Chain A
Amino acid sequence: MASFGKFDGVDFSQINIESLTPELRQLGQGFRCVRGEFVTYWKQGRIQREADAYLCQCWLVRVEDALAGYITLLADKLEVEDALLIQEGVKYRTFPSVKIGLLAVDRRTKGLGVRLMEWAIDYVITEVVPVIGVRFITVDALYDFDVEPAYDASGFYEKLGFEFADPTEALPPINPYRTMYLDLKPLMEELAIEELDENQL
């Protein structure tokens, strides 16, 4: 169960999301996540080094000087298994995607994970899609079977509309994650309709 306190009364539904800059790297004191590795990756500077190497871009939310959460994005491809492609005679094998690398929120926040995800999806639609082909958003949802019960993050992404790359995958998976994807096309089409309706009011 989420414990509040530090972020009591903060409305994360519209909170500002900032790009990681050198000045913001000192944040993180007192950052607490349900999963400790997401704190360690931040505190050891590993995410910052990844961003410096252009392996990902990182965005974060802070409340005054307290880090509340972060998300990383990077280029990816959604691949379809070969065998099926041969049978179906389909010309495309891979599809351009943006990947959610890491998503971490302080356990005392409420609704911040959804805020970061919805911001990232909207950001990709408005800033990336117009300049480079991107059809999907991918994520490798953590599935840790070393804890009891197993820690399965896929339900969070399912609620946002993500689909499993392999819905019949045997559990626990070989790697500690399950790949999921979100098709941006219906989302963009629906947003266009919403915008049209708004303009007609």
Chain B
Amino acid sequence: MKYPLHTQSKPVSGIAAKKLLEAIDAGGSVVNDRVLALAKRIAARRRKAQKNG
């Protein structure tokens, strides 16, 4: 089955929706360790790019 050129995002539902809404309602966010690791990689790349001019 081919990947369609146009896709429509499905809604967040069930426990994921509850988690999301609770986080936003409390001023928080949906976070996991991989997001924090991603932030560190992006920061490192920015530093490297800055260093290299």
Contact = CB atoms under 8 A, between A and B. Distances in A.
Contacts of B38: 118, 121, 160-161, 187
7 contacts: A88-B18, A140-B7, A163-B16, A165-B12, A165-B13, A187-B38, A190-B36
A166 B48 contact: no
B12 A181 contact: yes
A14 B45 contact: yes
Interface of A: 13-14, 35, 37-38, 41, 46, 50, 76-81, 84-85, 88, 90, 92, 95, 97, 99, 101-102, 118, 121-122, 125, 138, 140, 142, 144-146, 158-161, 163-169, 175-179, 181-183, 185-187, 189-191, 194-195, 198
A58 to B, nearest CB: 12
A189 B7 CA distance: 30
Contacts of A190: 35-36, 39-40, 43
B8 to A, nearest CB: 8
Nearest to B47: A198
B32 A161 contact: yes
> What bracket does the count of chain B residues touching chain A fall in?
35 or more
Given A79-B12, A80-B11, A122-B46, A163 B1 contact: no
A140 B1 contact: no
Contacts of A160: 34, 38
A187 B39 contact: yes
B42 A165 contact: no
Given A14-B48, A78-B12, A168-B15, A183 B29 contact: yes
Contact of A186 (B8, B18, B25, B35): B35
B2 to A, nearest CB: 4
Given A158-B34, A191-B42, A84 B7 contact: no
A88 B34 contact: no
Nearest to A166: B13
A183 B3 CA distance: 24
B10 A179 contact: yes
Nearest to B42: A122
A194 B43 contact: yes
